[in-house]
Structure formats: C-alpha cells, structure tokens
Amino acid sequence: MTTQAPGTPGQGGFDVAMAHITDQILSGQVRPGDRLPPERELAQQLGISRGAVREAVRALQAQGLVTSQVGHTGGTRIASGQGESFGRTLRLHLALQSVSHDELTDTRVLLEREAVGTAASSATPEELAHLARLCDQMDAAETIAEFNALDTDFHVGIAQAAQNRLLRDLTIAVRQALASHILASEQQLGDAWLRLREDLIAEHRRILDALAAGDSARAADLVEEHVRRSHVALVRS
C-alpha cells in the first residue's frame, strides 16, 4: 500500500483514516482479502493517533467493509462479502418499522426470480448437485434450526449459481433479516411444522427440477410461489 500524505489541516484523525481506507478501496489499491497495515504503521503514515485509526477500523467493521482477527495470521483485512452487513442494516430497519415484512418479501421475490431465472441457464452440474444435496440434508435434518440453516443455504446457492455477487449478498441479507422471526414461527407450529416441512422440501425439489431443465420461466414462478407461501405461513403467522 502506498503512503498517503496526512489529512488536510483541521480534519480529525478519524476522518483522515476513514478517507484513506475508503479511497484505497474505491481506487482498487486494496481488494477483498488484502490486509491493511498495523494500526501503528498506518497512524505514522497518516500523521494521526493510533486511537483514531482504531476508531475508523471499528466503524468500517460495523459496516461490514473490513474484518479483524487476532494472531499472527490475523490483522485487519478487506471484507469479501457484504451479506452480513446488509442483513444487519435490514434488521435495524425492520426494528424501526421503516421497512415492513411485506415489503421485504416483495423485494425478496424480485431478487429470487431474477436469480433463479439466470441460474437456470448458468448453473453448473456441480452447483445443481450441491442444491440436490441440500434438499437431501433438509430431509434428514433433526432440528428446526438445522433445517432453517439448510433452507437458507439452498436459496443462497441459487443466487451463487446466478454468478451475481450482489444478488448473493442481498439474498443472504434478506434471509438474515427474517431469520429469527422465521425460526420462532417454525418452533411455534407444533405438529403443523412437520406438514409444512414436507411441503417446503417438495417445493425446493420442484425448483431444482426446473433449474436442471433450464426452464427459467417455470423456475421463477415456482420460486415466487414458494416465497409467498412461506411468507404467509411463517412471517405473517
């Protein structure tokens, strides 16, 4: 990473550090997985305190732009995906009621119709086999939490097969935003959960069949039907 001149006079150390790191990302000088210099080194480069650097790194962590780990191979690195940070933001908007579950579901339908439609023409045999294994694992899942995680993996797997990282990350975000509510609803269904579980698995397999056949229109219609049915059964319950 190239050394940057200190910030402009009157600019706080936090702002200098934030501007430096984000400018490095925007200019392509650092990429996902790259490690940033240690706090002491970066502070010396920028002519600011280590505390200001630490504060900026924590703010970027909260946004999901960097990750930090301790140890010899750790350090602060540029994040490789934004699904978790997007999901955290959506959960906050749900809590503040600036976004409703219905609006989030409508958005999810748009995202997943696009993802599955694209995946129908781009999914590899390996990706289809992965989705098939997830269906089998859902069949064998012993707990609701395990089933719920596999269900999420199935939908994320479709978005990944669409070869669109933003679709993938937004799919993860929407699932994360709804995850706790869906899990709580599933746990409250009692015996009705077993019937719904079988229906959900069957719907996943029909979606997979449409993907394998390359039928993008049918796959998109099946995904929308599945998402909206799940919404009524779990999100509105």
CA 63 to each of CA 67, 98, 225: distance values in angstroms, whole numbers, following the listed order: 10, 19, 33
Q: What global pTM score does this model have? A: 0.68
The first and second tokens of residue 52, run together, are 């200001």
Cβ neighbours for 88, distance < 8 A, ≥ 6 positions apart: 64, 176
Residue-level pLDDT at 174 = 83
Q: Considering the chain, what is the average pLDDT of its residues? A: 85
Average pLDDT over residues 36-65: 88
- Residue 22 and residue 28: Cα distance in Å, rounded? 10
Distance in angstroms (rounded) separating the CA atoms of residues 108 and 85: 17
Helices (H), 9-143: 13-26, 39-46, 50-62, 83-95, 101-122, 125-140
- Check: CB of residue 155 under 8 Å from CB of residue 182: no
Nearest by Cα to 204 from 148, 104, 142, 134: 134
Confidence band (pLDDT; 50, 70, 90) for 93?
low
pLDDT at 11: 67
Contact 191, 144 (CB under 8 A): no
Pairwise CA distance, residues 174 & 8, whole Å: 40
Average pLDDT over residues 79-87: 65
Tokens 């699932």: give the residue: 175
- Residue 189 DSSP one-character state: -
The answer, yes or no, to whether residue 69 has pLDDT greater than 50, is yes
- The helix, strand and coil proportions of the chain, stated in percent and rounded to the nearest 5, come to 70, 5, 25
pLDDT tens for residues 155-168? 989 999 998 888 88
